[in-house]
Structures are given as structure tokens and as C-alpha cells.
Amino acid sequence: MATLTRPHHQSHLFTNLSLKPKPKPAHFSPSRIKMSLQETAPSVAIVGVTGAVGQEFLSVLTDRNFPYRSIKMLASKRSAGKQQTFEGKNYTIEELTAESFDGVDIALFSAGGSISKEFGPIAVEKGCVVVDNSSAFRMVDGVPLVIPEVNGDAMSGIKLGGKGGLIANPNCSTIICLMAATPLHRHAKVKRMVVSTYQAASGAGAAAMEELELQTREVLEGKPPTCKIFSQQYAFNLFSHNAPVQSNGYNEEEMKLVKETRKIWNNMDVKVTATCIRVPVMRAHAESVNLQFEKPLDEDTAREILKNAPGLVVIDDRASNHFPTPLEVSNKDDVAVGRIRQDLSQEGNHGLDIFVCGDQIRKGAALNAVQIAELLL
Amino acid sequence: MATLTRPHHQSHLFTNLSLKPKPKPAHFSPSRIKMSLQETAPSVAIVGVTGAVGQEFLSVLTDRNFPYRSIKMLASKRSAGKQQTFEGKNYTIEELTAESFDGVDIALFSAGGSISKEFGPIAVEKGCVVVDNSSAFRMVDGVPLVIPEVNGDAMSGIKLGGKGGLIANPNCSTIICLMAATPLHRHAKVKRMVVSTYQAASGAGAAAMEELELQTREVLEGKPPTCKIFSQQYAFNLFSHNAPVQSNGYNEEEMKLVKETRKIWNNMDVKVTATCIRVPVMRAHAESVNLQFEKPLDEDTAREILKNAPGLVVIDDRASNHFPTPLEVSNKDDVAVGRIRQDLSQEGNHGLDIFVCGDQIRKGAALNAVQIAELLL
């Protein structure tokens, strides 16, 4: 994928900043590859394989040694015929059509809402389980909206080899926020949550990451910045999230946090407000989260709860001022949480402030989808 | 000032991004210069003239046609003897000593807390009115902490030509937040405020701005970033504010917002919590502010209140997704507010979310101090 691999940036720092798939983990071994070839493993399709999330699907499948009988690389007509290397084999990218899903057990979709709306139901019709990364079906009644660590049980009605089904992957900001908020919610019940986000370029796709880099070079050279993906200068600047603003003044990104939280927690009473901001960071989001609880929860208990929560790492070193940063979680699976402290503005230990960072492409999208697929196995 | 003027960056974009003093405003004219030379005008001293804020003091004095009988450029021994051009004249920078304040009416201090603590009382002793940009005296009883648009009356006891006095300039984040929050507070009384900041490099001084630029070049070239001012990579990253973290888990920057708000509003009951984050932006801060009011306040009324507030500009165009950005307020006097909307998480119009941006060096420091000095005239 030309836009995401550039040989002239090989330092670990720049790699870490943005682009290359991370090295294979220690548990990756040829014997495990063999296992993945077994006849009982599912047939998998990747829809939108050329995109930033599509590429990350492949990386995560490998990292997690996801078993598969066969794998199909699907994309738009424009990309059909191109080659995609995966686990040492070359695959020809195929054009996505209604026939693409014949014999496919699991399809991981990340090709935008309109593709999901058109082809998701076709795939399900053919008995395929679709894990959809778009917003197309997230709020549809009966479609489970799943973060495996949070509400994996919500998809218990959907099985492989049956009549197919559709599972929605939540929005990246929601996943990253709820990975940290849920363990606390389970303990003390969140009444109200005020979220301010610091969102990376990657949320707008690989082209947006390219634009941030290009603009930064241009501004440093004293040139006007190229604005194609975003309508304004992004380098050394920040702006309200580019999602359309609704009549209530919230943009769609913010409303995802409000609505998806209610659905995932199966709690229509939880109050959420959010302000979503794009910052000039490449691929990991940060979120400042203020929590109001029904029951008291002191910060030491909260820290212990978070330390024991799956998929979460606590980085909370006050003495050396070391807390989560987007760079530190880039290309990492775990969401990081820190700045855990009793909210001074609330009485009786009924509030906490926390700061969360998570890789937007990984746990915010591809990893969460693959974890959903793993629950199906 | 070598670090802030570099001939190879002359595009308006890069200039706007960071560094050069803005062009003279239309009202700047020779006749006004003459007025400033009149005998009755005060004698002024700038303490810390070589710093980012010190330089901005000069720029603001010129822009606002501040009258002065004489002006002294004061700095550390290291800078003594260097030349400083101001309004067409050359001045020799003098070393700051106890004698520096003989005959000085107004001293604008921005040379760090320890310099203020040592020399502020000496200047006052000599009948000088000190406007101090450091945190040294902000929370001291009897020292007015002033944002002219908010609580100018708090300094009514201090006069020129009398027994001297000390007035503290609030912290940049507090000023920028309260410029927008105060008009709403006056109308509906703020009970609780949750603030998340997006703070620029300039808050850590000119060297931090240089480091952000240097690091960005290095990272783009695949080199390891130089970390001298900050302990970690700042380019394409963000991190919890570098101020020391207290035992309650809040860093000092956050506690300034908590405590200064109470003092400026003369209201010990207002509840404030804050999370302060450094983002890779040059010289203007942004803040996401969630407000809870005692009385109901609908968003249309709030918008009208903010439109009529001094020193504030409303940028709130939902249709074209145009809201305040740090770049847009850089080198500007006014603080910008937008994303004004009814907080969905509160009932009965008792809450609002707003997003505020302000130039950290200007209204966040130098401009506010010069406005305080103007109130003395």
C-alpha cells in the first residue's frame, strides 16, 4: 500500500508515529500458521482491504494468529487486480460484488457506510457474519454494538454457520472511552460523563494522515498548506471535528459517543456530553473524561479496578509526570489510562477525572473487529 | 531577538503560526507617538524584556499606543548591554537590580516567579505599581488578580503616584476560560465547570516553541527528536501538562484554573475541575468548557450574551463547520468562543458546552497586563 509504506522514513520514531505494521509478536510461529490452515477454520473476507483500517485488519489477523481456511481481499473496482501480500502469500484484490460472499463465513467490513448498507445485507443473506466498522448499522435495533471486553454477551445470538448476522463495531472514540469507563461504571455506576477528545488524523483515513504530514512540511517551508481532506490548516493547529453539525449543535462524532454509550451499556439513563476536536497527531486518540458516579468511588480503588481490567494499561506516574500519550499507544493493542484522580468539583468521592489514549486504527477499529470475530470461533 | 525572527520564514502562514510581531494596526500614527511622549505619561519598565512575553509587551504597548514618559528595558545580567529597538528608538537592555525601579511608575514583570518574588516588593517599596505575569503573588491575600473585562474593580485601591502596589496577571488558561465563562456566569451563575485544555508550546516560553519546530523537522526527517525543554516527543504528540503534579493528582496548571477562578469571581463556592494537556500548536490555547448553571440559560441567549461581551468574538457557524481555532486567534487580541450548545447531559437548560481559543502570549499574558496598566492611567 503505497501511501502507508515509504522507504525514506525508516527510523523507529517516524514508524512509531504513523505508518508501518508493527513487528510480529513473539508468539508468532510457523506451527501456528499450520493451525490456521485447518479445514475447520472459517473462510474470511476483508472488505475495503486497501484502506488504513483494511490494512490493519491484516496486521491484526497475523498478530493474533487468527485461524482461517481461506481469505478474500475485496475492494472497489479501482483496486481490483492489484496484489496484496499476506502471511507470505500473494493475493489478487477482487472487486466487491454480490457474489463475493459465496462461501464466506466472516466478513470484516471497513469501506464506508454506503458500501456496508449495500453489501452487508447481501452477505448476511448468504449466511455470512458481517463485522462492520462503519456507522451504518450501529444504532439499528437488533444489531449488537460490541466491545468484546465490555459487552461481548450482546452478540450471543449470532453464530457461525447459521443464518448469518450483522455485528457493529462502535466508533473509535466510544471504544477508547468505554474501555476505561466501563470497569468504573460496573463498580459505581456512571450517572454523567463529560468527554473532550483529542483525535488523530487517522480517523479520517490514510489520506488525512498524508495531508497532515504534507501540510507540516509545507508550513515549515513557509508555503501555504494543501487543504484537500480538511477545509483548513491542520499542521500546528486543531479544530472542531469535521463531522457534520446537527441542529442541536453537536457534531455527529459527538452524538456517537452519546448514543453508542447508552446502547453498549444498555442504559438509556446515562448522561453523556462530548466535545470532539481534531489535533495534529497521526494515529491515536486521547480523551479527557470526567465521570460522575451514583456511588462513591475513591481514586485508589479506581486505579486498582483499572489495573485489573482487560485490554487496559494504567500509566499514572505522578512523580515523573508520566501519563498516557498518543505516541506511546500507537501500534499498541491496549488502551492506556492515567491522570486518575478524585474530581475536586464533586463531593463525597462521587467523581473522577481520567485521561485515556488508544490507537485509533487498532483498538479503535481493526483490533476490536477481529476480537469480535474471535468471539464467533 | 534571534530566536523569534528568522528571515527564512517569511510566509504569512508561518508568521501567523508562531513568531513575528503582527503588523502595526491602522490607528498607529506619528501623531499618536507624540502624545505618548507627553510629560504627564508614566515612566515604564519592562522586566524580562528578552522573553516571549517581554517582547509581546513591547508589541502590545505600540499597538495600543500606550503613553509613556520613558521606558526601561530590564533583563538578566546575561542580556544586559544588548540592544532593543522600540518604536523607532534603540534602547540598551539594563541588568535588573534594586536600583532599576527608581522613578519608575509602572513595571510589567514577566521573568519568572523567583524574580518577581525578589524584585516585586523592592519596586513597590519605591512607589512603583507592579503588574506581575508570574504566579508568585496571584493567590496572596490583598493582591488583586485581574482580568480587566472581568474584575477591573478589584484593583481600585491601587493608584499611580502613590505608595506603589502589586497586581497579578492570572494564568493564561484562566484568562482565556473566564473571558467566555464570566458573561454567562453573570447571567446564570456557574455552579460547576469542567475544563479540558489544549495548550500551545508558547506557554513554556520561546524555547519551547523552538523545540516544537525543531522536533517536527527531525521527526519528518526520520531523526530522533531533541528533548530539552520537555522530557518527551512533542511533535505529532500531546501530553499531560508538564507542571508538577500535586498530591491530589492535579498538576499546578490545573489548580491555577481551580483557585484563580474562585478569586477572580470572588466566589469560593464555584466548583471547578480541569485537565490540562499540551498539544503541538505554537502560540494559542484552546479549551473545552462544560458549564453547569444555577439558573436556566438557553443557547440563543448565551450566544447573544457572548456576542455583546468585551474582548470576545463569537465564531459559531454550524453550517460551514467554522469554529474557533488556535491559528485563527494567533496574534489577535480577542478571545474566540464557539460550539455554543445546550448540554444534552443536563436538564432544564441548566448546562452549556463551549469551546474557547485565545492567543496565549497576547490576551493570555502581555495584552492582559497592558490592559491592567491602562486601567491605572
ipTM: 0.91
- Residue carrying C-alpha cell 439499528: A140
Sheet holding B312-314, edge to edge: B271-275, B190-198, B284-293, B351-359, B335-342, B312-314
DSSP-assigned beta bridge partners for residue B84: B91
Long-range pairs for A33-39: beta carbons < 8 A, 24 or more residues apart: A33/A65, A33/A87, A35/A65, A35/A67, A36/A65, A36/A66, A36/A67, A36/A68, A37/A69, A38/A67, A38/A69, A39/A69
Instruction: Answer for the pair B279, B198: CB distance below 8 angstroms, yes or no.
Output: yes
Q: What is the DSSP letter of B231?
A: S
Reported as half-sphere exposure (CB side, CA atoms, 13 A), residue B262 has a value of 13
3-state percent helix, strand, coil for chain A, nearest multiple of 5: 35, 25, 40
Nearby residues of A326 by Cβ (< 8 Å), 6 or more positions away: A198, A200, A281, A282, A283, A284, A285, A286, A357, B237, B238
The whole-number pLDDT of residue A33 equals: 52
- At B173 the three-state DSSP class reads helix
The whole-number pLDDT of residue B4 equals: 26
Dump pLDDT digits (tens) for B343-375. Answer: 999 999 999 999 999 999 999 999 999 999 999
Smallest CA–CA distance, residue A209 to chain B, in Å, is 11
Instruction: Answer for the pair A169, A369: CB distance below 8 angstroms, yes or no.
Output: yes
Using a CB-CB cut-off of 8 Å, the residues of chain B touching A199 are none
The whole-number pLDDT of residue B234 equals: 98
Strands A106-109 and A129-132: parallel
State the catalytic residues of A: 172, 285
Q: Spell out the alpha helix ranges (H) of chain A.
A: 12-17, 30-36, 52-63, 113-125, 148-151, 172-188, 206-220, 252-264, 299-307, 326-329, 367-376
- Residue carrying C-alpha cell 544588548: B82
Using a CB-CB cut-off of 8 Å, the residues of chain B touching A231 are 321
- Phi, psi torsion values for B189, nearest 5 degrees: 55, 110
CB contact under 8 A, B219 and A353: no
The whole-number pLDDT of residue A12 equals: 31
Strands A239-240 and A43-47: unpaired
Instruction: Answer for the pair A258, A250: CB distance below 8 angstroms, yes or no.
Output: yes
* CB nearest A239 (choices: B212, B233, B323): B323
CB contact under 8 A, B319 and A245: yes
CB contact under 8 A, A237 and B345: no
Q: Closest chain A residue to B238 measured between Cα atoms? A: A325
State the catalytic residues of B: 172, 285
pLDDT-flagged residues of chain A (< 70): 1-38
Using a CB-CB cut-off of 8 Å, the residues of chain B touching A11 are 222-224
Strands A284-293 and A351-359: antiparallel
The whole-number pLDDT of residue A162 equals: 87
Smallest CA–CA distance, residue B121 to chain A, in Å, is 33
DSSP-assigned beta bridge partners for residue A85: A90
Burial B198-209 (b: 16+ CB within 10 A, else e): bbbbbbbbbebb
Give pTM, 2 decimals: 0.91
Smallest CA–CA distance, residue A112 to chain B, in Å, is 21
The whole-number pLDDT of residue B39 equals: 74
DSSP-assigned beta bridge partners for residue A130: A107, A166
Average pLDDT over all residues of chain B: 91
Q: Which helix (H) or strand (E) holds B74?
A: strand B70-75
Dump pLDDT digits (tens) for B218-270. Answer: 999 999 999 999 999 999 999 999 999 999 999 999 999 999 999 999 999 99
CB contact under 8 A, A326 and B281: no
Residue to test with chain A: of B193, B212, B236, B360, most A Cβ within 10 A:
B236
Please report the DSSP string for B232-266 in residue order. Answer: S--TT--EE-SSPB-TTS-BHHHHHHHHHHHHHHT
Dump pLDDT digits (tens) for B21-74. Answer: 444 444 545 445 545 456 789 999 999 999 999 999 999 999 999 999 999 999
* CB nearest A344 (choices: B273, B277, B326): B273
Q: What is the DSSP letter of A152?
A: G
Distance separating alpha carbons of residues B313 and B180, to the nearest angstrom: 9
- At A132 the three-state DSSP class reads strand
B281 compared with A12, residue with greater pLDDT: B281
Using a CB-CB cut-off of 8 Å, the residues of chain B touching A299 are 249
Residue to test with chain B: of A240, A253, A298, A301, most B Cβ within 10 A:
A240
Distance separating alpha carbons of residues B163 and A99, to the nearest angstrom: 89
* CB nearest B219 (choices: A13, A275, A319): A13
Q: Identify the burial level of A88 via C-beta atoms within 10 angstroms of its C-beta, where 0-12 means exposed, 13-18 middle and 19 or more buried.
A: exposed
Instruction: Answer for the pair B175, B363: CB distance below 8 angstroms, yes or no.
Output: yes
From B357, B348, B350, B358, select the one nearest B187 (Cα to Cα): B350
The whole-number pLDDT of residue A26 equals: 47
Measure CA B351 to chain center. Answer: 27
Smallest CA–CA distance, residue A64 to chain B, in Å, is 27
